[in-house]
Structure 1
Amino acid sequence: MIYNNLNTLILRTTQIEHINNVYLTLIKKQTIDTAEYKSSKGFIARKFG
């Protein structure tokens, strides 16, 4: 029974770590996209403004 609970705990921890990694990756991507968008907007403003 203890062994079974330990397995469940390890599985849950792994799932949480996976979700955290996905979440961090999304945040990083969003930050990069935002930075690129802002810099491209600035570029357009300088070129055509």
Structure 2
Amino acid sequence: FCSHLVNECNVALSPGSGFGPGGEGFVRFALIENEQRIHQAVRNLDHGLPKL
């Protein structure tokens, strides 16, 4: 899932499993960009997620 988002949407996120056993099945987004880049990331996700 995370690889698909990087390759298809140009959006990086972390698999939840990297944050302990309770994170399995989740992902973590870090919103540390300016507002314009965050809006672009959301548009990219909107375009790329249906391709899963």
TM-score, reference length from structure 1:
0.34
> Which protein is richer in helix relative to its size?
1
The structure showing larger relative contact order (alpha-carbon pairs under 8 Å, at least 6 residues apart) is 2
TM-score, reference length from structure 2:
0.32
> Which has the higher Rg, Structure 1 or Structure 2?
1
